[in-house]
Structure 1
Amino acid sequence: MIGAASIGALRAVELAPFGMLGVGRVHAAYARGEITGDDEVAVGQAPDGDYEALTWPLVNLRHVLELAREAGVLDGEWMGGLLTALRAVYYPQRTWSAVRAVCRRHGQDGFVRWLDGQRERDRYFGDVKRADALEAVRVAATGGGTGAPGFAGQVPVWRTPYFLRWSNAALRTVVRGLTLSTEDRVLYQQLFDPEFPGRWADFLAHCSLHPTDGGPGVPLGRRLAEAGATGMAAHQVFHPRLDLRDEETVARLLAGESGQDRAAVARYADAHAWARRSRPGFTVGAVREDLACHLLLHQWRVSPERLDVTASARGLVSGARAVDALRRFVPGLLEDVAAGTAGRRVEVSCAGG
């Protein structure tokens, strides 16, 4: 993966330990710490979709000022003052007209005339971002880079919540001709399998004996005692983030899955896709929270006061997260209820919903 010219250059510096390759002047400036913020590369663009930059980013202005100093048009003292003044202009308003106005206000008419002349001869004069982007394309096309400096091919363990959320959402499996989201299959079990709390308790015990961080395995009771939580249920104390790339994790959580369950997951995915096609702007977040909560309470046959503890026992941490998880299934669930075809685990009523 190559990063250059803009936010990609900044990301290449941040992800260098993981092998991302940075290219160009902007990346080098970030790597040396000469610049740090994303405001250095931000530009305003044309609203009609052609992505033409309408404003000057600070990295280009820095470069132009340096070229003017080398040409004897500016001295070092004026360079710093002009850069500070130009930085104070909000980036969507930093047009060429605004740059001219700031420079003239600081008595640098000569610099403006010089820059006008350079731009007449070359419309891309001083455009470091464009030069870096072209260099990145060249490197990608010629294979002129295999990783960041010092990268030896040994990728560190990287399991941030954001990465796990992305990787879990991307996983798909084909089971007996059905292409299903692994995440949806697990969530379906958490939400609809009446036996899942016992399965989650067994999973927590397994995690305690076989931690993924390489630490020593410890019986769950001892781990609870070490956490000062003797007498508490493990699900109230430990909330491991699921990595659905791990086959054993998936196998344990889906141990009670039936063919009927998989068919329901596929049907609900189709209903969700249809809702998005037929209702422009539809998202999971558009599903009413009160409706999802009503359906979940009826499915679990619990009072609102028991929602949090029931959700926790199913590995969903809290009632709010469980309600949010159910939202993706609501379009299909309502279709099943309306048709009177809800499966053996989906026993809901829409009365009052």
Structure 2
Amino acid sequence: MTLHVFVGPTIPHSEVLSRVASARVHNPVAHGDLLRVKADEGDTILLIDGVFHQKAAVRHKEILSLLARGVRVIGCSSIGALRAAELAPYGMLGIGYVYEAYARGDIEADDEVAVIHEAGGDWRPLSEALVNLKHLGDVAVRQGILSSDLCAQAIALAAARQYRERTWSALRRDAEVSQHLTVAVEQLWNLSQSQPDAANVKLADARAALDHVAQGEQVPACSAFDLAADPGWQTLYLAQWRARYEGGLASPLSVIQWRQIYDPMFLQLWQKTVHQIVSAAHESSYSSALALSSLEQMGMFPARSSGLGPLDFVCEETKSLFACADAAKTVGAWEAVYEDLCRRMGHDPGANLAIATLDQHLSEVWACSADRETLEQAARDRGFLRLDQAYEASRHFIFGYLRARAGHAARSGRR
């Protein structure tokens, strides 16, 4: 059995390994990560931390996909606790105070567990999680340090702040405005220093979950649904995510989209392929009809009635039509540039690119005018149903393209 742990600011990577030496430790989970990870039946994935602001958060269907394969998925502390509470009916297991609070409905918002943290792999938290402050307040009330009313007012000051601004210094400034809460906030601070476990329930939950796994406890998760027997939860979106992420950085969908945008030979290949598939499909060839359906679901061909559902998307025949070892190598390198930028910047740099920038980029690559009508037609010629699809694909590639172009220019200058 392999244990994969997705973690960041809640508990240091080093402590994870000190508790479970064989664990494979990953950075906070983001959309696509659970489809990339190599997890088989009997393996365990422990979700602790995840991103949701700088990149898309892990999707529920990604977790269901693992559960359906017999992978045990446990959540605690942060986004892991939230997803566990949401997916408990489907077999995800939750552990700890934060999970129980979400499951009971005592807390609901994702910002209750959110913190801002150091970038670059350190993950040191720079703000206080609201759920930690609430737990600290509960301890203060139980120990008679604060009245429930004063405690609620002090915690309300923190709740009014955006999660990135929830620091002790900000809380003190806000308390000074209210005046009567200054002492209450200082008492909470003193309690956090004298009883650090009470001030960091997220950390306590993470340790409990790691100990649970390390001790080999196999508490079965209860599921009211047979995910393997009922594929109705598997949507077109999930099929597209699998095509993009399951192959790693150079997934089949990434290679196809890269060729649509950057391969000068793709126009000719696409026209030839469409004619072949349409002709064969009209002759009632199942395999060709399957390939045609796959292209439709990919958004690369106008919808036709093939009698096949979304999950026939990107079949082996369709992938082989557009497979290209050289393209896959380039895609892997360009996607690596993009992933590295995401890690170093702490957010998704492609998400904030202006449409005008993408227009200029595509017009340069496609050697056409940058006006929207021309670009729309050029996108359709390359198999995109809409220009928006080309925009979204290029957001992942543009940084690799620019680096490759700069490298080419540098090499040319040395000749």
Answer whether TM exceeds 0.5 for this pair: yes
Mapping of 1:289-300 within 5 angstroms? 289-290=359-360, 292-293=362-363, 295-296=365-366
From 238, 250, 254, give the equivalent of 2:316. 250
Q: Is the 8 A contact 1:4 1:133 kept in 2?
A: yes
Unmatched runs of 5 consecutive residues or more in structure 2: 1-72, 261-265, 410-415
Offset of residue 24 of structure 1? 0.7
**Total equivalences in the alignment:** 300
Alignment-derived partner of residue 389 in structure 2: 321
2:222 partner SS = coil
1:129 has 2:209 as partner: no
1:197 has 2:267 as partner: no
Compared CA separation, residues 189 and 254, structure 1 to 2 (3 A): farther
In structure 2, C-alpha distance between the alignment counterparts of 1:185 and 1:262, rounded to whole Å: 8
From 327, 332, 343, give the equivalent of 1:265. 327
**Residue type at the aligned position of 1:183:** L
TM-score (norm 1): 0.61
In structure 2, C-alpha distance between the alignment counterparts of 1:331 and 1:50, rounded to whole Å: 28
Offset of residue 128 of structure 1? 1.2
Mapping of 1:185-224 within 5 angstroms? 186-187=256-257, 191-192=266-267, 193=269, 194-199=271-276, 201=278
Q: Is the 8 A contact 2:84 2:92 kept in 1?
A: yes
Identity %: 28
In structure 2, C-alpha distance between the alignment counterparts of 1:85 and 1:273, rounded to whole Å: 42
From 91, 94, 100, give the equivalent of 1:22. 94
1:42 partner SS = coil
Alignment-derived partner of residue 227 in structure 1: none
Mapping of 1:1-353 within 5 angstroms? 1-45=73-117, 50-100=122-172, 105=178, 107=180, 111=184, 115=188, 118-145=191-218, 148-150=221-223, 154-155=227-228, 157-160=232-235, 163-172=238-247, 181-184=251-254, 186-187=256-257, 191-192=266-267, 193=269, 194-199=271-276, 201=278, 235-237=301-303, 249-252=315-318, 254-255=320-321, 262-266=324-328, 268-269=330-331, 272=334, 289-290=359-360, 292-293=362-363, 295-296=365-366, 308=376, 311-312=379-380, 315-319=383-387, 321-322=389-390
**Residue type at the aligned position of 1:251:** E
State the Cα RMSD in Å: 5.3
In structure 2, C-alpha distance between the alignment counterparts of 1:197 and 1:308, rounded to whole Å: 19
TM-score (norm 2): 0.53
Q: Is the 8 A contact 2:384 2:390 kept in 1?
A: yes
**Residue type at the aligned position of 2:386:** S
1:139 partner SS = helix
**Residue type at the aligned position of 2:273:** F
- Any idea what the Cα deviations from partners look like across 1:8-66, whole Å, max 9, x if unmatched? 21122233344332111111111111111122112344579644434332212222222
In structure 2, C-alpha distance between the alignment counterparts of 1:24 and 1:142, rounded to whole Å: 16
Compared CA separation, residues 297 and 124, structure 1 to 2 (3 A): same
Q: Is the 8 A contact 1:10 1:30 kept in 2?
A: yes
In structure 2, C-alpha distance between the alignment counterparts of 1:131 and 1:119, rounded to whole Å: 14
Offset of residue 4 of structure 1? 1.0
Q: Is the 8 A contact 1:45 1:54 kept in 2?
A: yes
1:2 partner SS = strand
Compared CA separation, residues 71 and 83, structure 1 to 2 (3 A): same
**Residue type at the aligned position of 2:243:** N
Q: Is the 8 A contact 1:5 1:24 kept in 2?
A: yes
Offset of residue 89 of structure 1? 3.3
